[in-house]
Amino acid sequence: MSVPTIAVTGLGFHYPDGTPALKDVDLHIHPGETVALLGPNGAGKTTLILHLNGIHMPQHGTVAVSGLELTSDNVMEIRRRVGVVFQDPDDQLFMPTVRSDVEFGPRNLGLQGAELDDRVDAALNAMEVADLADRPPNHLSFGQKRRVAIAGVLAMEPSIIILDEPTSNLDPASRRELAEALKALDTTQLIVTHDLPFAYEMCERAIVIDRGEIVAGGSTPEILADDALLKQHRLELPYGFSIRAEG
C-alpha cells in the first residue's frame, strides 16, 4: 500500500476558551485521490485544513504529509508539500502580473532561469491561463483569478492541493472550466465544499465532518444518496438533483 499523502491520527484541537474544534480526527488520503470534505458551517473543516499545512499545530494526535510528520522544525517543508487555495483568490494574488504571481513561490525557493520558467509555464498551462500571463490579476474575472491562484499553488509542485469552496461565486461557465482543469491534473486533491453536485462530479470519495468529528466516509454517490445523513448534518442537494447509491 502507498504511503498516504495525508495521514491524520487522533487529531484534537481546542480553542483558547476551551471549546473543542476537532475531536480525535482520523483521516487518510492516498496519492492520486480526489476527496471531498463536506460539513455544515462551523463543523471544523477550516480548522482541519489549517492543521494540514501547519498554520495550526496539533494539540493532540499527529499530522503527516507523504510520511513526514508535522513538527515545528519542518513546518516550512510541510507548507511546500500542502498547497491551500483559499476561498477568495484576492487573498493570494498580490503581484503586478499573473506570471509574477505564479512565479513568486518557486522563486522564493531559489528557482531561477529556465527551471523557473518551465515550472511557471507548466502551472499556467495546467490551469489554462497562459494567455493571461502579462495581465494584472485585478483586471481578471473571478473565475480567472481562481484558476491563477491554483496555478500559483501548482507551481510549488505540492504533494496535495486543498481547495476551499472552489466553486463559490463562479458562474456556470467558469465552474465548468474549473472542473475541466482540475480533472486534468494528476495532483492529489482535497476539495472542501458545500457544492454537493461539484463533489459528486469531481470526487470518488467523500468525508463528512460535523462538530469536530468525522461522522461518515465512503464513496461520494453512497454519501450523497443517504438522505438521512445529509439531513442530520445540514447538507442539501439542489432541488431536483437526484443521486442513486452505487451497488
- Are the beta carbons of 153 and 85 closer than 8 angstroms? yes
Q: Mean pLDDT, the chain, as a whole number?
A: 94
**CA nearest neighbour of 51 among 177, 209, 187, 195:** 209
Task: Give residue 242's pLDDT.
Answer: 77
Q: Which helix (H) or strand (E) holds 109?
A: none
pLDDT band at 245 (very low <50, low <70, confident <90, very high): low
Q: What residues have CB less than 8 Å from 114, skipping those under 6 apart?
A: none
Residue 156 has pLDDT above 70, yes or no: yes
Given a contact cutoff of 8 angstroms between Cβ atoms, the answer to whether 84 and 149 are in contact is no
- Please check the confidence at residue 53 and state whether its pLDDT lies above 90: yes
Distance separating alpha carbons of residues 166 and 149, to the nearest angstrom: 11
Percentage of residues in the chain with pLDDT exceeding 70? 98
Distances (CA, A) of 88 to 99, 102, 107, 194, 205: 19, 16, 23, 15, 25
- The predicted structure's pLDDT at residue 65: 97
pLDDT 10s digits, 65-108: 999 999 999 999 999 999 999 999 888 888 999 999 999 999 99
CB atoms within 10 A of CB 239: 5
CATH of domain 33-43+81-232: 3.40.50.300
- Distance between first and last Cα of the chain: 25
Q: What is the pLDDT of residues 189-232, one digit of tens each?
A: 999 999 999 999 999 999 999 999 999 999 999 999 999 999 99
**Measured distance CA(238)–CA(189) in Å, rounded:** 24
Q: So where are the chain's domains? A: 33-43+81-232
Separation of alpha carbons 137 and 97, rounded Å: 6
Q: Quote the percentage of the chain above a pLDDT of 90.
A: 87
